[in-house]
Amino acid sequence: MYEVYALKYGERDTPACQFFYRETSHEPVTLHYFVWLVTGGPRPVLVDVGFREDDAAQRHIRNYVPPSAMVERAGVKPSDIPLVLVTHLHYDHWAGHSLFPSAEFWVQKDEVAFWTGPWGRYDAFRSAANVGSLSSLVTLNYERRIRIVDGDVEVMPGLRLYRVGGHTAGLQIVTVDTPRGRLVLTSDASHFYRNIERRQPVQIITSLPDMLAAFERIDELAGRERLVVTGHDPEVAERFKVVEPGIIRLA
Ligand SMILES: [Zn+2]
């Protein structure tokens, strides 16, 4: 039976207008930064890797703890993580890959193509990139540590990923079947509960229709149990159970 944890490794305040489509308010909202750990299956699986000290300093992140330290605190040695599902390649989900030296990283084909393709040169996209970590896609691939997937995949029984796009070209979300129902880790398909619940996407997008369709997909996958875990919302700690500071038990 799977156990699933959200592990918080940092916080940042930012104006609301950045995270809600056509929002005019500059009131601050607080983002929490997470990686998600799935244990209890044949082998532990991590969803995303977070970032390292350099991004934390440059991007004014509060209360930064290396994501690998949070994984260790949750009971798994970072070097014992064999598999990471990478929801997308923004710095806060990918730049910390070297913290997990034994892992194979699963990422969507469209996501790799996007960040190694023609749009990377534009500030609109590169501000969310850690360029060094994107260049390691090539070396890691030749070390057989990148698995490029295309579309929806069953990772192991009861653990699946779905390509939804929208926020980034090949964004994927993850579902885990639990005794209470199917848990949906939306990552940045919905940064906050407000994004999905009011159908008000974030401003950071590659396709607005895909982003809206992703909300429909999440609702469909979540079903009646509504076990939805959004990507950066401090409210995750209220909707699920905090077991110790920074560690939230989701299932
Ligand atoms: Zn993010």
Report how far ligand 1's centroid is from the alpha carbon of 203 (Å).
Answer: 12
pLDDT at residue 18, rounded to an integer: 86
pLDDT at residue 32, rounded to an integer: 98
Q: Which residues surround ligand 1, an ion (CB under 5 A)?
A: 92, 188
Cβ proximity of 167 and 88 under 8 Å: yes
Q: Could you give phi then psi for residue 235, rounded to 5 degrees?
A: -70, -15
- Whichever domain contains 238, its CATH number is 3.60.15.10
Report how far ligand 1's centroid is from the alpha carbon of 188 (Å).
Answer: 5
Report how far ligand 1's centroid is from the alpha carbon of 89 (Å).
Answer: 9
Report how far ligand 1's centroid is from the alpha carbon of 141 (Å).
Answer: 23
Number of folded domains that form the chain: 1
Which amino acid would we find at residue 237? A
Q: What does the block give as tokens for 156?
A: 């192991």
57: containing domain: 3-249
Following DSSP, what letter does each residue of 106-129 receive, concatenated?
EEEHHHHHHHTSTTTTSHHHHTT-
pLDDT at residue 62, rounded to an integer: 97
pLDDT at residue 164, rounded to an integer: 98
DSSP state at residue 43: S
pTM of model > 0.95: yes
Report how far ligand 1's centroid is from the alpha carbon of 197 (Å).
Answer: 18
Report how far ligand 1's centroid is from the alpha carbon of 155 (Å).
Answer: 22
- Return the closest-CA partner of residue 221 out of 173, 171, 157: 173
Q: Which residues of the chain have pLDDT under 70?
A: none
Report how far ligand 1's centroid is from the alpha carbon of 7 (Å).
Answer: 14
Report how far ligand 1's centroid is from the alpha carbon of 190 (Å).
Answer: 9
With a pLDDT cut of 90, the percent of the chain lying above it is 96
User: Parallel, antiparallel, or unpaired for β 104-108 and 146-149?
Assistant: parallel
Report how far ligand 1's centroid is from the alpha carbon of 234 (Å).
Answer: 13
Distances (CA, A) of 75 to 51, 53, 100, 150, 195: 20, 22, 14, 31, 32
Report how far ligand 1's centroid is from the alpha carbon of 88 (Å).
Answer: 9
Report how far ligand 1's centroid is from the alpha carbon of 184 (Å).
Answer: 16
Report how far ligand 1's centroid is from the alpha carbon of 187 (Å).
Answer: 7
Report how far ligand 1's centroid is from the alpha carbon of 148 (Å).
Answer: 20
pLDDT at residue 227, rounded to an integer: 98
